[in-house]
Each structure stands twice: as structure tokens, then as C-alpha cells.
Amino acid sequence: MKLNVLLLTLVVLFSLLGCSQGSSLRKKFYKNTCSRAEDIVKEETEKHVAANPKLPAKLLRMHFHDCFVRGCDGSVLLNSTTKTAEKDAIPNLSLSGFDAIDAIKEKVEEVCPGVVSCADILALAARDSVSIQFNQPMWEVLTGRRDGRVSLITEALLNLPAPFANFTQLEQSFESKGLNVHDLVVLSGGHTIGVGHCSLFSNRLYNFTGKGDQDPTLDARYAESLKSKCPQNDRTTTVEMDPNSSLKFDSNYYSNLLQNKGLFQSDAALLTNKIARKKAVNLVDQTDFFTEFRQSMKRMGAIEVLTGTAGEIRTKCWKVNS
């Protein structure tokens, strides 16, 4: 009898250990409840990108910011009348693309009311927007996420990696989400598209150690170029994170990084760790980058997801159901 109980305990234990994060997600989750869900998201996303070519970078960043706070539950989409939601946190004030997600959700609701989560729509739209230039999906998005009901400004401040973080801080941030150094280096490659505000890296140009100095690890000519675009104390101007290639998803980010042309301190931090630096060298090869990005995005998209009966399916992405 004791042996049977022990064996049963071991079976349950190994089953739990074998369950990966987000294991409740699956391919074509809406196949029987909203068969056109993923097609509608793709079609509508393509329309929005055609009108705004900068949207892929915006949606990719939004998806990342969503997953790193309370998991991929669409909580970053929620509004707050008291300005205390995630989107009201300083790191999220520059997020945009919410209108596109709301519009895509409306189209899905017209066909399948109350079925498809905003969390899934954001995950799919981020993938579909980046994939347009390749005419094929760049990574697999498993579905079945449900929407969270809580969105707190304090949690965004605590959980989002800062652009001025050092390597240890970045590593700890990713580890807390079940991701590793490999994922850190790979997902940083998302900086190959989009822009960054001058205020987020101006200390590297004008006051790196508090003595009016420049970050010595930043390529000198690149620094002069940035200074010509970002006057001291400029809080509104943006520059390309991947110079001359901010609309093209490629591996150019790593080539620039290895030339000490990473825009943020958090980019440069990758070169301070031997393992991370070696991975960056390998990812210069675009085929390798795409392969690894595909896997890391799948892992990120499964962070702390709500499934089953947890959470809800919002009818509007910007507010919880009444």
C-alpha cells in the first residue's frame, strides 16, 4: 500500500515538473469557437501596418511589456480613470498602438462576440505585424490566453527591464520570468526595429558618471552622431535604435552592438558578459537570429498566462467586463 502511494506521488510530481509554463496554450485554440479568429487578426493587422509602417515595432514592444508584468494577460491594454494602470507607468508612457489593438478586437467581436481574448489578439498582432515583410509567420503563436482583470502602475515599474540596467539586473529580470541569458540576448534583437527617446540614453552622451562625461564604451563617432540629433535635456526627440534600418526586421542590431553602437545602456550591457557577448556574435547570422528569435518569442508568449477559467474574455480591450 505504502509503495503504491509512493509511486502515485512520484507520478504526480514528475507530471508537474514536466508541465512547461503556458502548457495550456495550444495551436488553433479557437478552431471550434471562432474559426476565422486568427485570419481576422492577420487581415486587420496588415491593414493597420499598411497605414503605419512603424506599427510592428510598437506592437512587438507592447507585447513584451505586457508579458513582463503579470504575464501575457493583456493587462497593459487596460485604462484607468485614476491613472494607476500599467500603461500609466513611466516606461509605458511611450507605448502606442493601442488604437490598432482596439480596432482589431472590434472586428473579431463582430464575428465572434466574447470568445477571443485581448491577450491573444495582442500576441497574434505582434507576430503578424513583424511577419508582413516576409510573407510568412516569423514565429508560432499558441493561443488560449485569457485576459487579466488587474493592471497596476507599481507592478510595471517593478517588473519592466530599464534601458539603463546593467547585465546583472537584466539577467535577474529575465530569470524572474522563467527566461535565461540566451533569451535575453535574442529578445534584445527586437531593437532592430523602432525608435528610442533621447532622454533614455542622453546620460551616455552628456553625463555618464555625473561628471559631464561620455560613456567610454560607446563608439565615439556614433556618439557624435547621436549628439547632433539629441541636444542635452531633449525629452521629445526619437532616434532609430538600429540606424538606417528601423523599419526592417533583421540581424543588423547585433552587427551594430558589436561595434559599440548599441543605443541603450542595457544594449551595451550585453557585451559585458562573456556568454552574452558570444551569443551576440553568433546572432549576427540572420538565419540563426530568426531561428532563435522564433523560439524565444514562443517562450516569452507563455509567461504566466491565464488559461481555463482564470481571468475573463474582455469585450473591449481597454476595460474589464462589468
In a domain, 198, yes or no: yes
132 shares its domain with 201:
no
Does the annotation place 161 within a ligand binding site? yes
132 shares its domain with 248:
no
Question: Across residues 139-146, what is the average pLDDT?
Answer: 98
Question: Across residues 204-219, what is the average pLDDT?
Answer: 96
CB 138 within 8 A of CB 129: no
83 shares its domain with 190:
no
152 shares its domain with 192:
no
The label of the residue with cell 540563426 reads 288
Measure the CA–CA gap between 176 and 181, rounded to whole angstroms: 12
pLDDT of residue 322: 87
pLDDT of residue 133: 97
238 shares its domain with 257:
yes
User: Following DSSP, what letter does each residue of 32-45 receive, concatenated?
Assistant: TT-TTHHHHHHHHH
282 shares its domain with 207:
yes
Q: Residue 241 pLDDT > 50, yes or no?
A: yes
In a domain, 2, yes or no: no
pLDDT of residue 132: 98
Torsion from C-alpha of 114, 118, 123, 124, nearest 10 degrees: 40
In a domain, 115, yes or no: yes
User: Per-residue pLDDT tens for 67-121?
Assistant: 999 999 999 999 999 999 999 999 999 999 999 999 999 999 999 999 999 999 9
Does the annotation place 131 within a ligand binding site? no
pLDDT of residue 22: 56
Does the annotation place 71 within a ligand binding site? yes
pLDDT of residue 23: 62
Residue at a domain's end among 139, 159, 179: 159
52 shares its domain with 87:
yes
Average pLDDT for the chain:
93
Measure the CA–CA gap between 59 and 274, rounded to whole angstroms: 31
In a domain, 31, yes or no: no
182 shares its domain with 146:
no
Please give the tally of structural domains in the chain: 2
Domain carrying residue 136? 36-159
Q: Residue 212 pLDDT > 60, yes or no?
A: yes
In a domain, 14, yes or no: no
Q: Residue 51 pLDDT > 70, yes or no?
A: yes
Q: Which of 115, 6, 126 is nearest to 76 (CA)?
A: 126
What CATH number does the domain containing 120 carry?
1.10.520.10
In a domain, 118, yes or no: yes
| Choice among 48, 65, 182, 197 that is catalytic | 65
User: Per-residue pLDDT tens for 159-181?
Assistant: 999 999 999 999 999 999 999 99
Q: Give 5's contacts (C-beta < 8 A, 6+ positions apart).
A: none
Residue at a domain's end among 118, 143, 159: 159
Q: What's the length of the chain?
A: 322
55 shares its domain with 180:
no
Q: Which of 180, 176, 178 is nearest to 273 (CA)?
A: 180
Q: Residue 233 pLDDT > 80, yes or no?
A: yes
Helices 118-131 and 98-111: crossing angle in degrees, nearest 10, is 110
Does the annotation place 304 within a ligand binding site? no
Does the annotation place 296 within a ligand binding site? no
Q: What is the 3-state secondary structure (H, E, C) of 128-161?
A: HHHHHHHCCCCCCCCECCEECCCCCHHHHHHHCC
What CATH number does the domain containing 209 carry?
1.10.420.10
pLDDT of residue 262: 97
Measure the CA–CA gap between 49 and 145, rounded to whole angstroms: 24
207 shares its domain with 295:
yes
Q: Residue 5 pLDDT > 50, yes or no?
A: no
Q: Which three cell numbers stand for residue 210?
A: 555625473
Residue at a domain's end among 107, 131, 159: 159
Question: Across residues 265-272, what is the average pLDDT?
Answer: 98
User: Per-residue pLDDT tens for 7-37?
Assistant: 444 434 433 333 344 568 999 999 999 999 9
Does the annotation place 75 within a ligand binding site? yes
In a domain, 312, yes or no: no
Does the annotation place 69 within a ligand binding site? yes
pLDDT of residue 244: 86
Q: Is 65 a catalytic residue?
A: yes
178 shares its domain with 149:
no
Does the annotation place 66 within a ligand binding site? yes
Question: Across residues 258-263, what is the average pLDDT?
Answer: 98
Q: Give 280's contacts (C-beta < 8 A, 6+ positions apart).
A: 185, 254, 257, 258, 270, 271
207 shares its domain with 242:
yes
Out of 22-26, 184-188, 243-247, least confident range: 22-26
Burial label for 90, CB within 10 Å (0-12, 13-18, 19+), is exposed
Does the annotation place 192 within a ligand binding site? yes
Largest CA distance in the chain: 78
